[in-house]
C-alpha cells in the first residue's frame, strides 16, 4: 500500500523510509515534515495510509483534517505513550491504528498492514480503554440527565475536563480561542450545577456508575 510518513524529526523520516524500503507490502510515496506539507502530499498523491509521529507539531489537528478531507486515508499514530487521555483524544480525532514508543520494526509493519486491512491495531490496554469509552458513552446516553442540557461542544469540553485538561490544553486540542473555552466551561459548571472543574469529572463518573438522573 502507499504510505505517507509524517514527522518533523528528520532522522525519523529518513530512518522510516530506509527501514520500510525493504518491505514489499509497503511503499513510502512521500515523507512530510509539517502539517501543511502532509496535506499537500495528500492532495497530490494516492496515499492509502499515513504514519504520523504524534510528537510532530499540530499532529492532532492534522489527524482531524485528514479525517474530514481525506476519510479514505487511514492514519497510524506512532510514538504514543500509554496515557489513556492522549489515546482517547487521538481516537476521537480519527486515528485508525496505534504503535507504541516501545514497538519494534516488525510490530510497526504489522500495525500498518492491519490498519490498511481495516483491522484494529493497538495494544490490549488501548483496546480495553477504547471499549470502555464506547460503553461509557452508551450508558451516559441511555437516560436523561443534566448532561442533556449541554450543547454538543459543551459536552465535548466536559469530557476533556473530566480527563484533566486545562483551558489552554482544551483550546489547543479543539482549535478554539481560550476566551471561548472559558465561556464554555462557565456554562458547563452552571448547567451541571457544580462550582469547580473537578466536580465535572466526579459528576460524569457518578453518571456512569449509577445511570440515574443526577
Helix/strand/coil percent split, the chain, to 5:
60, 15, 30
Residue 214 predicted with pLDDT over 60 = no
Q: What are phi and psi of 7, to 5 degrees?
A: -160, 140
| pTM of full prediction above 0.85 | no
Query: How far apart are the C-alpha atoms of 202 and 158, rounded to whole Å?
Result: 11
**Cβ–Cβ < 8 Å for 48, 27:** no
Contact 98, 110 (CB under 8 A): no
pLDDT at 134: 65
Q: Residue 178's CB: how many other CB atoms inside 10 A? A: 12
Looking at the chain, the number of H-run helices and the number of E-run strands are: 10, 5
- Looking at residue 142, its pLDDT comes to 52
112 in helix, strand or coil? helix
**pLDDT, tens digit (0-9, with 9 covering 90-100), for 39-69:** 999 999 999 999 999 999 899 999 999 999 9
Judge whether 121 and 110 are in contact, CB under 8 Å. yes
39 to 33, 128, 185, 192: CA distances (angstroms): 11, 32, 32, 40
Instruction: For residue range 157-200, list pLDDT tens digits in order.
Output: 988 888 888 999 999 888 899 999 999 999 988 888 888 888 88
Q: What percent of the chain has pLDDT over 70?
A: 84
pLDDT at 155 over 60: yes
User: Is the pLDDT assigned to residue 17 strictly greater than 90?
Assistant: yes
Q: Which ranges in the chain are annotated with CATH 3.40.50.2300?
A: 2-126
Report percent pLDDT > 90 for the chain. 49
pLDDT-derived band of residue 131, with 50, 70 and 90 as boundaries? Answer: low
CA torsion through residues 187, 139, 68, 41, sign: positive
* Inter-helix orientation angle 178-192/197-210, to 10°: 50
Q: pLDDT per residue over 66-110, tens digit each?
A: 999 999 999 999 988 777 778 888 888 889 998 888 888 999 999
What distances in angstroms separate CA 62 from CA 118, 119, 155, 162, one per listed residue? 20, 22, 22, 24
The x, y and z cell numbers of residue 161, run together, are 475536563
Lowest mean pLDDT among 7-21, 74-88, 195-209: 195-209
Query: Is the predicted pLDDT of residue 213 greater than 60, yes or no?
Result: no
In the chain, residues under CATH classification 1.10.10.10 are 140-210
Confidence class for position 141, pLDDT limits 50, 70, 90:
low
The verdict on domain 140-210 having CATH code 1.10.150.20 is no
CA 23 to mean position of chain CA atoms: 27
- For residues 26 and 3, the answer to whether their CB atoms sit within 8 Å is yes
Contact 144, 171 (CB under 8 A): no
Confidence at 14, pLDDT banded by 50, 70, 90? very high
Evaluate if residue 139 carries a pLDDT over 80. Answer: no
pLDDT for res 209: 55
**Residue 36 burial class via C-beta count within 10 angstroms: exposed 0-12, middle 13-18, buried 19 and up:** exposed
CATH number of this structure's domain 2-126: 3.40.50.2300
Amino acid at each position: 500500500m502507499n504510505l505517507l510518513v509524517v514527522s518533523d524529526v528528520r532522522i525519523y523520516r529518513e530512518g522510516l523510509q530506509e527501514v520500510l524500503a525493504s518491505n514489499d507490502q509497503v511503499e513510502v510515496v512521500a515523507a512530510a515534515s509539517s502539517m501543511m506539507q502532509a496535506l499537500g502530499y495528500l492532495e497530490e498523491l494516492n496515499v492509502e495510509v499515513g504514519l504520523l509521529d504524534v510528537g510532530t507539531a499540530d499532529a492532532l489537528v492534522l489527524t482531524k483534517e485528514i479525517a474530514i478531507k481525506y476519510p479514505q486515508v487511514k492514519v497510524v499514530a506512532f510514538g504514543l505513550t500509554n496515557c489513556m487521555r492522549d489515546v482517547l483524544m487521538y481516537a476521537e480525532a480519527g486515528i485508525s491504528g496505534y504503535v507504541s514508543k516501545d514497538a519494534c520494526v516488525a510490530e510497526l509493519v504489522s500495525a500498518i498492514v492491519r490498519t490498511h486491512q481495516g483491522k484494529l491495531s493497538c495494544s490490549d490496554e488501548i483496546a480495553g480503554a477504547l471499549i470502555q469509552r464506547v460503553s461509557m458513552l452508551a450508558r451516559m446516553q441511555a437516560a436523561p440527565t443534566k448532561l442533556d442540557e449541554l450543547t454538543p461542544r459543551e459536552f465535548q469540553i466536559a469530557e476533556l475536563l473530566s480527563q484533566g485538561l486545562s483551558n489552554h490544553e482544551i483550546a489547543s486540542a479543539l482549535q478554539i480561542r481560550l476566551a471561548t473555552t472559558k465561556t464554555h466551561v462557565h456554562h458547563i459548571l452552571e448547567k451541571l450545577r457544580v462550582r469547580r472543574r473537578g466536580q465535572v469529572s466526579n459528576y460524569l463518573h457518578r453518571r456512569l456508575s449509577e445511570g440515574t438522573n443526577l
